[in-house]
Amino acid sequence: MTIALLHRAFAPLLLLAWLWLHATAAVGAECENPAMLRMSIIPSGDLKKDMLAHQPLLQELRAALGIPVEVYAPPSYGAVAEGLLSGAIQLARMGPASYVAARKADPQLTPFASFEHKANAYQPAGAFYHSLLIVRADSGIGNIAAVRGKRLALVDPQSTSGALIPRQVFAKQAGQALESYFGQIGYTGSHVQSINRVLDGRVDAAFVASVNLAAVLSDPAAMQKVRVIWRSQAFPLDPFVYRGQLCEAVKKKIRSVFLKNDGARRAAVLENIDGVRFVPISDRDYQPVRDIY
């Protein structure tokens, strides 16, 4: 199994070169039957951990497809979408908002699986999550009125819980655009970075996903350091998406890897991502995200 970790400083240039080299691989074919499957995963903050968490799944894909499988860790949510749209990537775990945006550009992109998350301190079990506005517990900020004018961390422009929901749902409830409500706004690039910047005092507040907050604050002592002062409605979890141009036999094998009911590797991946089970999904499951986009 090959795991390619892109160096932060050179990631944009490397990705552009990679996309250019592979973009025309399937031109002229009736359907795409790749000699190698390339998968990508939206960044959460710890690229090496993300890659290792999904490695058993990649091994299962190799066995099912009978071809090499590589995983690439791009520097941003947008880079994953660009890879899918160009054909450089055939399979990806996307954020809900980045999927909705990419689907506009290529209606053949197909979400086929997501997963039910284990219950945690910030949400019950299910194939959904919430956007949370968090502050340090010792900050003296106890509600959204008290956070007005403070320093805010967002995740990525294409993050659902870390940008889209704050800009479209929270801002509407607050009656002001985020730039007017908060004194300073910056993007951190990942949920982990946003949480850490709240904890170390570099920002006063951050919008993050409930599942990511639970993963970072995994013990009771750590949980006591953060206060949640706003919670969104539930939104669907990350979709696994493949290119619709893939040959049907390839798509069927990919779906089987995710949705069959047994397999130690599959169970290992679910354990790594705090999942209960993979579940079948379709584009219509992401209509709540599309409605606020």
pLDDT above 90 for 282: yes
* Start-end of CATH 3.40.190.10 domains in the chain: 2-119+236-292, 131-231
Are 137 and 169 in contact by the 8 Å Cβ rule? The answer is no
Which CA distances in Å does 264 have to 18, 58, 208, 260, 271?
A: 33, 13, 31, 11, 10
Q: Could you give the CA distance from residue 1 to residue 267 in angstroms, rounded to a whole number?
A: 19
Cα–Cα nearest to 228, from 82, 95, 130:
130
Distance CA 62, CA 54 (A): 13
List, as one string, the DSSP characters of 175-205: TS-HHHHSSEEEE-SSHHHHHHHHHTTSSSE
Q: Over 90: is that where the pLDDT of 171 sits? A: yes
C-alpha to C-alpha distance for 253 and 176, rounded to whole angstroms: 48
**Contact assessment for residue 50 and residue 44, using Cβ atoms and an 8 Å cutoff:** yes
Residues with Cβ < 8 Å from 94, sequence gap 6 or more? 42, 77, 80, 81, 84, 102, 111, 238, 239, 240, 241
User: How high is the pLDDT of residue 204?
Assistant: 99
Please state, in angstroms and rounded to a whole number, the distance separating the CA atoms of residues 55 and 117.
Answer: 19
Architecture of the 131-231 domain: 3-Layer(aba) Sandwich (3.40)
| pLDDT tens digit sequence for 21-80 | 444 444 445 899 999 999 999 987 777 888 889 999 999 999 999 999 999 888 899 999
In whole numbers, what is the pLDDT of the chain averaged over residues? Answer: 90
pLDDT band at 15 (very low <50, low <70, confident <90, very high): low
> Which tokens belong to 33?
């039957």
Q: What angle do CA 23, 25, 31 make, to 5 degrees?
A: 110
CB 198 within 8 A of CB 135: yes
Number of neighbouring beta carbons within 10 Å of residue 174: 18
Can you tell me the distance from the alpha carbon of 264 to that of 251, in angstroms, rounded to the nearest whole number?
21
pLDDT digits (tens, 9 = 90+) for 70-111: 998 888 999 999 999 999 999 999 999 999 999 999 999 999
Q: Regarding the domain delimited by 2-119+236-292, which CATH topology (the fold level of the hierarchy) does it fall under?
A: D-Maltodextrin-Binding Protein; domain 2 (3.40.190)
| C-beta separation of 90 from 244 below 8 A | no
Q: Which of 292, 263, 275, 289 is nearest to 64 (CA)?
A: 263
By the 8 A CB rule, do 34 and 88 touch?
Answer: no
What global pTM score does this model have?
A: 0.86
Pairing of strands 151-154, 205-209: parallel
Q: Give the H or E element holding residue 80.
A: helix 77-86
- Reading the block at residue 204, the tokens are 């006063």
What percentage of the chain has pLDDT greater than the value 90?
A: 80
CA dihedral (104, 54, 233, 205) in degrees, to 10, reads: -100
b/e for 246-269, b at 16 or more Cβ within 10 A?
Answer: beeebbebbbebbeeeeeebbebb
Short-list 23, 26, 57, 12, CA closest to 39:
57
DSSP letter assigned to residue 238:
P
